[in-house]
Amino acid sequence: MKKITSVTNQTIKDILQLKDKAVRKERQEFLLEGQHLILEAFRKGLVLILLGTSEALKHGAIQKHLDEAKEVFEISPSVAEKLSDVVTSQSIFAVCAMKKPAIDLDHNILLLDQLQDPGNLGTLIRSAASFNFKTIIASPNTIGFYNSKVLRSTQGNFFQVNLINEYLMKTINDLKNEDYIILGTSLHQHAKTLEKVKFDDKEKYALILGNENKGISPELLDMIDININVEMNDQVESLNAAIAGSIIMHKIYVEGE
């Protein structure tokens, strides 16, 4: 097995560039850290390069998949520290291929309009996976799916949802042609409280969540079929976007699946 002990090694320099969203997009590759996510990536056949300290590579679950990576490198603890984004690293990393997922038109869909917080996005991916929203389509100016904090916040559920970047205006028109009912959370129009909205398992729903501060873009508001107001007291300005979205997805899962 090839060993890398210097942080200035060219392979490591190339991999570190994947921390930049533009580079990820150009190469269609991303960097994963941590055993849980890497095992998921192996199951999906996405791992190109596996890197770990000698100890990390010895782990039984990782050992089983060693043959499946195109390249495997043993790295020194200092190289692991350089690659890591967390305080307590498991010292195992993988460069993975981005898969080009299709929209699952048999299930409900989550639409994200300029969401900016990586923790919110990761948590929403985990909630979408939990509540059978099999596809998330995010506007191009939403924070990147492959951001390391997003990946961590999914808690290993990153690969369970089809993650797509697309302009939402076009997407919503397409989804309307596929008979999706478009749900929003804007308070500007005639909103119905969540309790009053009954979801039907014969319908398909696409739920739009907006930016944490500005909400849903004005040009999308007219395309919403039902605006939903999650009940809360009026002393708080708004709910966290991931919380509001998850409460609505949960109700759709219970009533509309």
Chain contacts with its own copies (rule: CB under 8 A):
119, 123, 126-127, 129-132, 153, 155-157, 160, 194-195, 230-233, 235-240, 242-243, 246-247, 250, 253-254
- Give min distance, CB of 252 to its own copies, in A: 11
Find out whether 82 and 7 touch, Cβ atoms under 8 Å. yes
Q: 24 vs 251, which CB is nearer to its own copies?
A: 251
Strands 226-229 and 191-193: parallel
* Tokens found for residue 121: 């996005």
Shortest Cβ distance from residue 125 to its own copies (Å)? 10
- Closer CB to its own copies, residue 90 or residue 153? 153
- The phi and psi torsions of 111 (rounded to 5 degrees) equal -115, 130
What is the distance between the alpha carbons of residues 59 and 81, in angstroms, rounded to a whole number?
A: 19
CB of 40 to its own copies, least distance (A): 11
- For residue 174, the minimal CB distance to its own copies (Å) is 26
Choose between 98 and 239: whose C-beta lies nearer to its own copies.
Answer: 239
Q: Which is nearer to its own copies, 148 or 157 (CB)?
A: 157
Q: What's the min distance (Å) between Cβ of 102 and its own copies? A: 19
Q: Identify which of residues 133 and 180 has a Cβ nearer to its own copies in the complex.
A: 133
